[in-house]
Amino acid sequence: MTKASSIIKKYTMTIALVVVFIFFTVLTNGRLVYAQNISNLLLQNAYVLVMACGMLLCILTGGNVDLSVGATLCLVGAVAAQLMDQNSMGALPTILIAMLIAAVIGIWQGFWIGYIHIPPFIATLAGMFLFRGLGRVVLASKTVNIQNEAFLNTFISYIDVPGMDTKSFHVSALIVGVAVAVLLTVLMLSGRAKKVKKNYAADSLVTTLVKVIIIDALIIAYCWKLANYKGIPVMLLWILLVVLIFAFITMKTAFGRYFYAVGGNEKAAKLSGIDPRRVYFWAYFLMSVLAGFSGLLVAARIGSVDGNMGNSYEMDAIAACFIGGASAYGGSGTVSGIMIGAILLGVMNQGMSIYGLPDEWQYVVKGAVLLAAVIFDVVSNHKVGKQ
């Protein structure tokens, strides 16, 4: 394999994201990169970015998925909406109670799958019907509006620094972008230096610098667009918090490596002292917690909750993982990869909507892209197996 083909294979999804973004930018006559659309790209796909982190853990355990997350999202959002509407409860206790319910759902799912050994597909399919029905019961089959300003501001407000930001330009967004770019540069260069010092495999200095320049340019360009709109959305901070926590868990902790070990070879993992039951339990517990949190994000963004909220959201989270490189067989996948998959899916959704492509054809396109990603995974695994 040549060096060029090796680089292309390593960064396939990143290249695909760039190509798709350019394609839809041209197709929409540049409307995709309008400041408002760039900001909406984040807000409208926040639930995918958050839930994909939890779905990755489920997939890592052996290609399993959680079909109940859309219904969990609906139930948690319904409870939050009713607590504020019917009981006039404040934002903080509402959020705490809603997340407690999400945790209880996670314990329920994790118990049946991890300790009773009910197949994840069956357990989560049952959960999908159960939680969807309970959500509609809580709502009494009505739409409940959310008017609690504190709750809404917790998730959908924008950062505005008095004396620095103006209505037309938010300097704080640009400062944050530059700061993040500098921090990322330091981390990537120091990370490479540590690998070289320990004689580990590492990208060349030129390759690393090219990656740093491209990523930094994209971050600053994105923050420039946000600065020209309303600034940095608070929702972005919530997304970053979730992503960083799960990236740390999967990359830097023994607990995170257990998911890869069980998915790679469950029997070997068990012989090495890992309890697969606990791994399955935590995968579905954390998935439900993130689904519940996504319910709060979506409820705040829409400003209301109905019995259909979250329909097919589990499919978006699953698609983001597989498109982002998670293996359909389990044991392989990264948080950074699924973030690329989620963003690619978001760009496609946004681009097709702006272009005016009918909904039925949007489903066709997303299905084709998902199939292509899984075929790529299967072919790659087949080649590795033959070597």
Q: Within the chain, how many helices (H) and strands (E) appear?
A: 17, 2
Neighbour count for residue 134 (Cβ, 10 Å)? 18
pLDDT of residue 376: 74
Neighbour count for residue 148 (Cβ, 10 Å)? 19
At 214-255, the pLDDT tens digits run 888 988 998 998 999 989 999 999 999 999 999 999 988 999
- pLDDT of residue 387 exceeding 60, the answer is no
At 123-156, the pLDDT tens digits run 999 999 999 999 999 999 899 999 999 999 999 9
At 266-314, the pLDDT tens digits run 999 999 999 999 999 999 999 999 999 999 999 999 999 999 999 989 9
* Beta carbons of 80 and 292 less than 8 angstroms apart: no
Q: Range with the lowest mean pLDDT among 12-26, 33-47, 67-81, 371-385?
A: 371-385
List all residues 6 or more positions away from 93 whose beta carbon is below 8 Å from its beta carbon.
83
pTM: predicted TM-score of the whole model, two decimal places = 0.90
Per-residue confidence band for 7, with pLDDT thresholds at 50, 70 and 90: low
pLDDT of residue 380: 65
Percent of the chain at pLDDT above 90?
58
Q: In the block, which residue shows the tokens 């319904």? A: 78
- pLDDT of residue 382 exceeding 90, the answer is no
Average model confidence (pLDDT) across the chain: 90
Per-residue confidence band for 383, with pLDDT thresholds at 50, 70 and 90: low
pLDDT of residue 212: 87
Per-residue confidence band for 83, with pLDDT thresholds at 50, 70 and 90: very high
Mean local confidence (pLDDT), 27-56: 90
pLDDT of residue 381: 58
Q: Which has the closest alpha carbon to 128: 177, 71, 173, 57? A: 71
Q: Range with the lowest mean pLDDT among 65-69, 83-87, 194-198?
A: 194-198
Percent of the chain at pLDDT above 70?
95
Helix axes 12-27, 3-10, angle to 10 degrees: 70
* Beta carbons of 234 and 155 less than 8 angstroms apart: yes
Neighbour count for residue 164 (Cβ, 10 Å)? 11
pLDDT of residue 235: 94
- pLDDT of residue 1 exceeding 60, the answer is no
- pLDDT of residue 373 exceeding 90, the answer is no
Per-residue confidence band for 368, with pLDDT thresholds at 50, 70 and 90: confident
If one compares 378 and 189, the residue with the highest pLDDT of the two is 189
Q: Which has the closest alpha carbon to 376: 55, 65, 59, 9? A: 9
Mean local confidence (pLDDT), 87-99: 95
* Beta carbons of 282 and 294 less than 8 angstroms apart: no
Per-residue confidence band for 377, with pLDDT thresholds at 50, 70 and 90: low
Per-residue confidence band for 62, with pLDDT thresholds at 50, 70 and 90: very high
- pLDDT of residue 107 exceeding 60, the answer is yes
**DSSP secondary structure string for all residues of 231-296:** --BHHHHHHHHHHHHHHHHHHH-HHHHHHHHHHH-HHHHHHTT--HHHHHHHHHHHHHHHHHHHHH
List all residues 6 or more positions away from 271 whose beta carbon is below 8 Å from its beta carbon.
none
Q: How far apart are CA 151 and CA 148, in angstroms?
A: 5
- pLDDT of residue 384 exceeding 60, the answer is no
Q: Which of 17-26, 310-319, 370-379 has the highest mean pLDDT?
A: 310-319
pLDDT of residue 59: 96
**DSSP secondary structure string for all residues of 57-123:** HHHHTTS---TTHHHHHHHHHHHHHHHHHHS---HHHHHHHHHHHHHHHHHHHHIIIIIS---HHHH
